[in-house]
Amino acid sequence: MSGSAIRPTERTAARIVPANAAGIAEGARLLRAEKLVAFPTETVYGLGADASSNAAVARIYAAKGRPAFNPLIAHVATLAEASRHGVFSAAALRLAEKFWPGPLTLVLPVAATNLVCELARAGRETVALRIPAHKNALALIAAAGLPVAAPSANRSGRISPVTARHVAEDLGPDVDLILDGGACPVGVESTIIACLGETTQLLRPGGLCRALIEEALGLALPERVASHEIVAPGALASHYAPSALVRLNAERLEPGEAGLDFGGRFSQGPATLDLSPAADLDEAAANLFAFLRELDSRGPVSIAVAPIPRHGIGEAINDRLKRAAAPRS
């Protein structure tokens, strides 16, 4: 009997398999069986479940410790499929045709034919849809034949995962399978745009830059969302929080601080990681969450962050850092 006992390490470890054909097939089978499957996208790793099943989606909220008022993004493989779930305005269609697959999520009025369950939508009459541009994600969604609800695969309020190991560290055995497709190339989450009737609004800056969206639409998106307007409920003030305090726009390191540098501003040493020594914003975005995790794991009192330009994907980087530094409840 004792020979078959599960050792503690086996009980607490998550299962990580390569995102090859066998891994994708198993992931798809588990999704159809209402299990949780973490998978890579070009932005961050997602914690996937059958978006049409309240029972499956309930497991996402439980595993993340996510408040039930915060709706999820449904991931699909084709625009035809997305059109079954959401009502596309002319602006929404233009963005979908231009930027999908890609780091863009559209919040649309929910379609009568939609399959995305009420729990995934947090009871709203809108639905968030995305076609990711990662071949493993697309293969998994297509093989499952389901819309896949997937928030970032981290515990609620923590730093988003950009490797399979990050997912395992955060969620452990609460996720049934983790598909390892390597590091996520973009590194920050998708840009969220609400296209509701005549209104087109930026709800969350992300991997797709504002300027590209404005160019496609031929209009300027309002700078910030007023509190009475549509919001992404997940865009809460404190989020992406490491254990250490975060100090923004630091010109130099104080004693005992860890440094998150950009463009070689701090004196380099063991306490510092540079998001991009060459001051390249795309490289900085790809390194952001992994470097925050790494510095945090060293247990500093605070992490000092060098100033980072706000243009391009810098808008999303600054958004995430602002929330990492926000007062915590």
Binding site for ligand TXA (CB under 6 A): 41, 43-44, 46, 70-73, 105, 107, 121, 124, 126-128, 130, 132, 150-152, 189-190, 192, 203, 232-235
Q: Please state, in angstroms and rounded to a whole number, the distance separating the CA atoms of residues 267 and 177.
A: 42
Of 152 and 272, nearer to Mg ion (C-beta) is: 152
Least separation, in Å, of the C-beta of 152 and Mg ion? 3
**Quick one: what does residue 126 bind among Mg ion, ligand TXA, none, with the CB cut-off 5 to 8 Å set by partner type?**
ligand TXA
154 is in an annotated binding site: no
- Number of residues located near Mg ion, criterion CB under 5 A: 1
Least separation, in Å, of the C-beta of 257 and ligand TXA? 28
Helix (H) or strand (E) holding 107: strand 104-109
**Quick one: what does residue 44 bind among ligand TXA, Mg ion, none, with the CB cut-off 5 to 8 Å set by partner type?**
ligand TXA
Of 209 and 253, nearer to ligand TXA (C-beta) is: 209
Of 121 and 300, nearer to ligand TXA (C-beta) is: 121
160 is in an annotated binding site: yes
> What is the C-alpha end-to-end distance of the chain, expressed in Å?
47
In a 3-state reduction of DSSP, which class is residue 318?
A: helix
- Residue 152 interacts with Mg ion (CB under 5 A): yes or no: yes
Structure tokens at 85: 């779930």
Positive or negative torsion for Cα 239, 55, 166, 27: negative
Least separation, in Å, of the C-beta of 234 and ligand TXA? 2
Q: Please state, in angstroms and rounded to a whole number, the distance separating the CA atoms of residues 162 and 131.
A: 18
204 is in an annotated binding site: yes
Least separation, in Å, of the C-beta of 271 and Mg ion? 28
User: 188 phi and psi, to 5 degrees?
Assistant: -120, 160
Residue 252 burial by Cβ neighbours in a 10 Å radius (0-12, 13-18, 19+): exposed
**Quick one: what does residue 31 bind among ligand TXA, Mg ion, none, with the CB cut-off 5 to 8 Å set by partner type?**
none
- Return the residue matching tokens 């930027």: 99
Of 88 and 266, nearer to ligand TXA (C-beta) is: 88
Q: Please state, in angstroms and rounded to a whole number, the distance separating the CA atoms of residues 18 and 72.
A: 25
Of 82 and 253, nearer to ligand TXA (C-beta) is: 82
- Residue 52 interacts with Mg ion (CB under 5 A): yes or no: no
In whole angstroms, what separates CA 304 from the centre of its chain? 23
Least separation, in Å, of the C-beta of 194 and ligand TXA? 6
150 is in an annotated binding site: yes
In the complex, residue closest to Mg ion by CB: 152
DSSP 32-62: HTT--EEE--SSS-EEEEETT-HHHHHHHHH
297 is in an annotated binding site: no
**Quick one: what does residue 210 bind among Mg ion, ligand TXA, none, with the CB cut-off 5 to 8 Å set by partner type?**
none
Half-sphere exposure of 97 (CA within 13 A, CB side): 9
Half-sphere exposure of 20 (CA within 13 A, CB side): 3
For the annotated binding site for L-threonine, the residues are 43, 75, 130, 150, 190
> Binding site residues for ATP, as ranges?
66, 70, 126, 152, 160, 204, 240
Binding region for Mg ion (CB under 5 A): 152
